[in-house]
Structure 1
């Protein structure tokens, strides 16, 4: 799912879906954003795959739908809760991996526009963001 997420973020959200994603790159956004509509965009196929995969002999559809669901839960917890702290649940974490994720995402948001962004992944980001600063 990480590869699908990277591709979707780079070519859909920063492509023809920029209209929905643009407000997410603006400073000091609060409450709901147009970007939150992507929750529905991914929830619908997940629900359909789970439904049809559990009601037919094509059980692989069920597992694809559950994979999308699990990644959506991870996205919510990592992106919305941990990185952007839309909910103040894990405010004081000091884990190197989680700090690296935050740092990479901060670099992604440094560019406010549609073009020239970097770090499109969510769970896998370049190792350079996990390195401790040299003294």
Structure 2
């Protein structure tokens, strides 16, 4: 029974992180911390790194915090929560940084409808160079209109 709760906690945490990514992106990155995120929309630098990468560090620290709670206290549920946050972060990195933005030249060509929809939605997000009037703030859940065939 505890294994089932552990697995459900991991899955719920992973799914909740899509909401957190959307919320953070819409209200924090495009809000009061726009100064950290704007270089992701407007390439005003020659570095491979972006100020925007600081947001990755925040969630990494949260995940590590849950691992430490699990290891040094009796907070057993800290492990599946920490792993759920880590797994979402890994998926986000693969989808956003590698697949969409090609920070590493991998996964360039795809005929997968879902992958094309993710790219299309993110392209629409980046169409807006300022912090206002944005759309598609999530990552893995894509509005159906982006699944259209081209």
C-alpha root-mean-square deviation of aligned residues, in Å?
1.4
Shift of 1:66: 1.1
Kept in 2, the 8 Å contact 1:53–1:63? The answer is: no
Q: In 1, distance between residues paired with 2:146 and 2:140? A: 12
Q: In 1, distance between residues paired with 2:55 and 2:133? A: 22
Q: In 2, distance between residues paired with 1:37 and 1:4? A: 16
SS in 2 for 1:91: coil
Kept in 2, the 8 Å contact 1:46–1:66? The answer is: yes
The worse-fitting range, judged by mean Cα deviation, of 87-96 and 114-123 is: 87-96
Shift of 1:54: 2.7
For normalisation by structure 2, the TM-score amounts to 0.84
Aligned length in residues:
133
Query: Where in structure 2 are the equivalents of 1:44-123 lying within 5 Å?
Result: 44-123=61-140
Q: In 1, distance between residues paired with 2:30 and 2:37? A: 7
Q: Which residue of 1 aligns with 2:4?
A: none
Structure 1: segments with no counterpart, 5+ residues: none
User: Is 1:32 the equivalent of 2:73?
Assistant: no
User: Is 1:2 the equivalent of 2:18?
Assistant: yes
Deviations 1:43-91 (A, max 9, x none): 1111111111233221112221111111110011000000011111111
Q: Which residue of 2 aligns with 1:125?
A: 142
User: Is 1:42 the equivalent of 2:36?
Assistant: no
Q: Which residue of 2 aligns with 1:19?
A: 35
SS in 2 for 1:2: helix
Structure 2: segments with no counterpart, 5+ residues: 1-16
Large movers: runs of 4+ above 4 Å: 27-30
